[in-house]
Amino acid sequence: MSTSTATPTIPELEEQERRLTLPHFTHDDAWALGALLVELARERSAPVAVDIRRGGQQLFHAALPGSTPDNDAWIDRKRRVVERYGCSSYLVGSRFRAKGTTFEESSRLDLDAYAAHGGAFPIAVEGAGVIGTVVVSGLPQIEDHALVVEALERFIAE
């Protein structure tokens, strides 16, 4: 996999979110971003599921070969973390670890409904804040996160 899998610091994760704010996000944008994620995953034979939502509406979903229904359950759990905290699921988990604890030990949330594992990223729009989520599940959490970041970087550059 060509994405960077070095463990990012909390300031690096926060900078990613500032940098990856979009000027707008339409249904067509969701399709384009989802197709880009699928293309990147296929190039790497990554057994992932991809989900993109705006508000309560699912705008894109794909399950690639090797993914399972468990990936959809992980997508839901990671997405709920972004919706609750307004930042990436990986950043949430990292902040708990930086305090010497874990999300599982200290969040006081239902762990069947929430997972602060990498792969869910907020879709933020300039002037509107977080309006949705993009989620990948199927790889180790740092790779799920890195794949989403790479796709958002390419999407913004296009």
From first to last of its 158 residues, what are the pLDDT tens digits of the chain?
A: 344 568 999 999 999 999 999 999 999 999 999 999 999 999 999 999 999 999 999 999 999 999 999 999 999 999 999 999 999 999 999 999 999 999 999 999 999 999 999 999 999 999 999 999 999 999 999 999 999 999 999 999 98
Domains and CATH numbers, the chain: 10-157 (3.30.450.150)
Strand-pair partners of 51: 61, 135
The structure tokens listed for 139 are 């790889």
Model-level pTM greater than 0.85?
yes
Cβ(121)–Cβ(152) below 8 Å = yes
Where are the strands (E) in the chain, listed by range? 49-54, 57-63, 120-125, 129-137
